Structure formats: C-alpha cells, structure tokens
Amino acid sequence: MTQAERMNRLPKQFFATLTRKVAELQKSAPDLINLGQGNPDQPTPPHIVDALCEAARDPVNHRYGSFRGESYLREAICSYYEREFGVSLDPAREVAILFGGKAGLVEVSQCILNEGDLALVPDPGYPDYQSGVALAGAHMEYMPLLRENDFLPDYRSIDEEVARRAKLMFLNYPNNPTAAVATPDFFEETVRFAKRSHTVVVHDFAYGAIGFSEKPVSFLATKGAKDVGIEVYTLSKTYNMAGWRVGFALGREDVIESLNLYQDHAYVSLFGAIQRAAAVALTESQASVWELVDLYRKRRDRFLQTLSDQGVPVLQSQGSFFVWLPVPEGVSSESFTDQLLYDEHVAVAAGNGFGRYGEGYVRIGLLTDETRLYAAALRIARVYHRAARG
C-alpha cells in the first residue's frame, strides 16, 4: 500500500517516543518516577461516575444520539461558562460538542485551512496544533514564547506579510508547556491583531480551571473575541475525565458551524451516558474542582521549594499542572532528560519536543503524590548540579 501523502506530512509523535523509552526502562527500574506526560493521576469524582452508571442503564442511550449532541449538554455548557467566566453563549449556534479537546484542535485546521495557507503556531506549544495544520497541507509560522515576554507571543515581532497571510492562530493559556497565564490586556491585544489581520483565533483552554494566583481568564470574556475566534475546552483536566474524551468548542458562529458540519460526516455523537455525566460535572457541585486545584498548588509549592532549597533555579508555575524548568546553561534539553531518566530514573519531557524555543527547558508534570515529587526533586537536583559542573 502507498500511504496518502497527507500521512507523510504528520510530525513525529513526540509523546509516543517518550512513552516507549519509559516503558522499556521500567522493566529494570521499578523505582522510576514518571513526570513526563500530562495524564491526570486522580480519579473522576464519584458523583460524575455515578451519573454515568445510571445513564448507561437507560436504553435511550443505547441508540444513536443527536448528531450534534444533546440539547441538555449544550445548555449545561452555556450555564457553566456564564457562571464561571461571565460569558453568554447561544447553545444552538455557538457550541460544538467534541470527542475530546484534541480532536477539535486538529479538526479546526481541516475546517479553515486550504493547502498552502498559513497558520500561526506557538513555540513551544502543544504538538497536535502542528498535526492539524500538516494534515490540511498548510504552512506554519512559529510565534516564539520567550521568558522575557512572560511566555506570551509578541505580535509586534510578526512580519506584516506573515500577519496578512495568516488565516488561523493557536493560543493556549494557562500554557502547556510553560505554565504561564494570559492577562485581559493580552487578550484585548489579540482581538485587535486578529481583526487587523483577519485571522481566526483558536484558544486552547484545556487548563482553564487550574490557576494558582488567580482564576485563569477566558478568551471569550474579551470584548470582540466571539467575532474573531473560538475557545476549546475539555473536561479532561477540570474533572479528571481524560479517558472519557469529551470537550467542546465555543464562540464564533461560522467556525462552530464548520466544526459541527465536519463532525456530521466523521461521527454520529458521543455516547449519551457520557453526555449526561458531563452535564452533571458542569452543573452540580464544583467542590471537587476546588480541591483539585488546591492539591496541585500544594504539589507545586512542595516541589519548587525542594528544588530551590537544593540550589536549583526555578520558574514559578502560574497555571496548569506543569513546571517549566530551565536546564543548566550549555546543556541541551535532551541530554538533561536522558541523564535524568537513565541515571536517576525520573522521566520528564525535553523542552525541544515542544518546539525550537523549548530548548533549554524540560517540562515536568505534577502528577504524582507529594512524597514522590519530593523524591523526584532531590534526584533532579543531583543531575542538575552534575550537569552544571560538566
């Protein structure tokens, strides 16, 4: 068989390679601490699981559902956004239910980009933005996320011709991998840039519930945001529902309609019992979310304090459940990651796996208990100082 050319354009799956290396080492290293992936380690709250079980027994959910999702879920999504972010949405025209946020982030490129079109992609950034653009046969221009700019893109540095050609732009705050957050001023600037350049903004709000100093800002809360773009949300991180594969896109009507049309041809609908449980998650008690954010805050504080106590320079994580750690000067991200994995049995993700401007950093997931994170921090400090000495 000759594979379709679009498949050959796909970037190498960074996390698949990391997973293979970790799995191989685990056979001989039972003490390995895996902080390399973004897979939540807590269970889904019991009341959501109970809602799934009850709905799964209802025969109405054993049949094909509505192509575009059940109205009760779309209404629950709108209620959630009004309550949490002060954003009013039309459940019939401004909501697309997704088979996980990742699916929507890949699909939106298919909906908007033609071969040869241009997309603006953050660097470092979530690798699957590139996957969608590659499948569409479009080109990418990378927006550097630099420490001196608080890991926000600098629109003034984007070439005027590139801005004019850009049809689509991806953003993500709280940010994976840098753990940075966006400000209302930044999103206002984003709207102005998008209107000037006629670029559609896709804001990946996967970590929208996980902010430490203050609550993360929704792009859609910005005046004019719904005129220029959409926001993609997932229940994976907020409610520990990563394996459930349920998310949604919200905002600009023509983009939402395009996503819904694409999915009309690709899927029928999410399992009804999952939709029912998702509605319960969004509309009932949010105590589990508050507890989860507090858990991540405590983990972050213990982990960063331990590194700091060991003389390792750290950056403060503002949101998400990641730490973006600078490696010693003159040491590559990949070399540091391999030393840490094979010498101390701690798995982290090399920053260059997220893009050229991720070089010089590693991403660490705070996705194990405090005791293990403390042990990992001590091991990381040992490798850091050995690498710094050369």
> What residue segments make up the domains of the chain, in order of their start?
5-44+287-389, 46-283
pLDDT tens-digit profile of 356-375? 999 999 999 999 999 999 99
The third-level CATH classification (topology) of the domain covering 5-44+287-389 is: Aspartate Aminotransferase, domain 1 (3.90.1150)
pTM over 0.85: yes
pLDDT tens-digit profile of 240-276? 999 999 999 999 999 999 999 999 999 888 999 999 9
Coil, helix or strand at residue 170: strand
**What is the pLDDT at residue 8?**
85
What dihedral do alpha carbons 213, 305, 290, 365 form, nearest 10°? 100
pLDDT tens-digit profile of 315-345? 999 999 999 999 999 999 999 999 999 999 9
User: What percentage of the chain's residues is helix, strand, coil (to nearest 5)?
Assistant: 50, 15, 35
Answer yes or no: are the C-beta atoms of 47 and 284 closer than 8 Å. Answer: yes
Coil, helix or strand at residue 242: helix
**What is the pLDDT at residue 25?**
79
Q: What is the CATH number of domain 46-283?
A: 3.40.640.10
317 phi-psi bin (left φ>0, alpha ψ -120 to 50, beta other): beta
pLDDT beyond 90 at 224:
yes
pLDDT beyond 80 at 313:
yes
List beta partners, residue 144: 123
CA distances from 329 to 235, 254, 361, 387 (A): 38, 47, 10, 9
pLDDT tens-digit profile of 137-188? 999 999 999 999 999 999 999 999 999 999 999 999 999 999 999 999 999 9
What dihedral do alpha carbons 172, 178, 181, 186 form, nearest 10°? -70
Q: Which of 311, 351, 356 is nearest to 335 (CA)?
A: 351
